[in-house]
Structure 1
Amino acid sequence: MPLEGYAMSTTEVKNAEDLSPEAVLARATAARGDIFPEWKPLAYASPKTYHLINQTVSYLHSYHGQEAMSEQLSGPMRELIAIPALGAKGDLRHAPNHVRRAYRMGLTNKVLFEGAAAFAAVVGWASMTFMSLAIMEANNPLYPYGQLPAGGEPKELTPFPEMALGRTRGGAAPETLADTPEWRYAAGIDPELVRRAAAFIDHCLVADGAQDVILGPGPRELIAIAALCTRGEVDLAARHMRRAYDYGMTRRHVLDAICCVLPMTGIVTGQLGLRAMQMADAA
């Protein structure tokens, strides 16, 4: 089992310098609780490559040996970004493992789907079916990776910090899809299309001020921003960053959100996200 928030001992730090395949695999197993067998050929052929992958992903997803710092996103929030990102790529081998980790953190299916809805605002609602499939597979006793808590999905949600963030608007960024230049243009052609499209997107990103949700507008924007960066949409990502900032999200929150999708989309996603952050800062 990964030990979130565990601080590495002096011995462990020294052992981290051992780049033998066996040592690299042992550290990866300690960080994650188990590892997928397809990583083992890489670890034996190029142990430093796998070592660097594991060092980076352990930091990105708060695995064993990483200490939390101020304003970092919580482990549960990171999973709410990573799982729909895996689903959007159709990765039903790794996504169920993340669902099980989310269950161990106390996340319920309801909040998993709230996160998936925010991601779907960018990549399409069909992606939400992959969240369903990942949940179904995570609850399948034959799925061999990660530990499923007794009883499966938690009966009650365990609170996490982002649940209390991003609910009060302090700026004037466009709040509804219909107010954006592109969709105002579309309204002159097909206003009914705009009404229906805006209803869905505004629901997913809580533009209607709904209070009966687990994730407020700010955290949902973090998820949408990460999704936009995977698509290379720098201008749109910057626009959504401004709304996130209006709801009190910080640059550290935004950067952490972007980094949650680097394992499945690449470091270039981070570079595009940073470019969008610079644009948002300059606006």
Structure 2
Amino acid sequence: MFAIVGAAGNVGYSTSLALREAGVPVRAILRDKAKAARLREIGCEIVLADVQDSGALAKSIADVDAVQIILPVPLQAKDPGGEMQRAIGSIAVALERARPRRVLAISDYGAHVANDIGMPTMFRTFEERLGRLNAHKMFLRSAEHMQNWERVIPVAIASGNLPSFHDPVDMVFPTISAPDLGQIAANLLLRPDIGRELEVIHAEGPCRYSASDVATALSQLSGRAVRAHAVPRPQWKETFERSMPASLAGLLIKFYDACNKGSLVDIEPNNGEVRYGTTELIDALRPLPPPQ
């Protein structure tokens, strides 16, 4: 039995689907029963549990062979950073109680960096805490998701301007389609045990892209001219805090500062294999929402 915590999300659903297509049983663990329908349709067992409830989470994974864990980013919480810290502790306690043989944790590019670089540092804490588990651990570090551009696509196409915190806009960076990440995770879960207590694997798309590449793809998809422009650094805090709590804005500001320095939010040197998705940027953006 494979348990997928956070199975309703893009990555979790993709992993669940790939495992079901491989003919193995999947227990889909999610918080909102309203999102269970498509998981039930592919033959998953449905269990409701919140990552903040270590007791319920431990029960949901008590008898499984392998668990995939995704640390959720609670966008609607008053203090997303604090919520993530509490979730890390709750997840670790649940895994210690349930004692699955294998744990695959979705992590982040840059989780190896010792300095505080925002969101990747949160995943460094996640890795360090789960590293104490008595289990075969796989830390699957993900590049930035292509789907993260979704929230700005309508305004970019309508206005012709794509705002970017990647600066300069022609600087390429690692990125991956979220469903590709789920497929890579499923392949790792299905792989025979190689006898190592800890593995670090990085996942990114078939090639690296820039914000200008995103604008070009949107131009091709919409038939309208779109150009990328870098949001000036002094405007970041105000821009982020229009749509999110200050603690999350702070994590993202540090993250983009690290991205723009180059080489920090990247593959850890001399540690871990790299797996590549197959979805090109334009194909990942194709189903995202058009302007209203």
TM-score by length of 1: 0.32
Q: Which has the higher helix share?
A: 1
TM-score by length of 2: 0.31
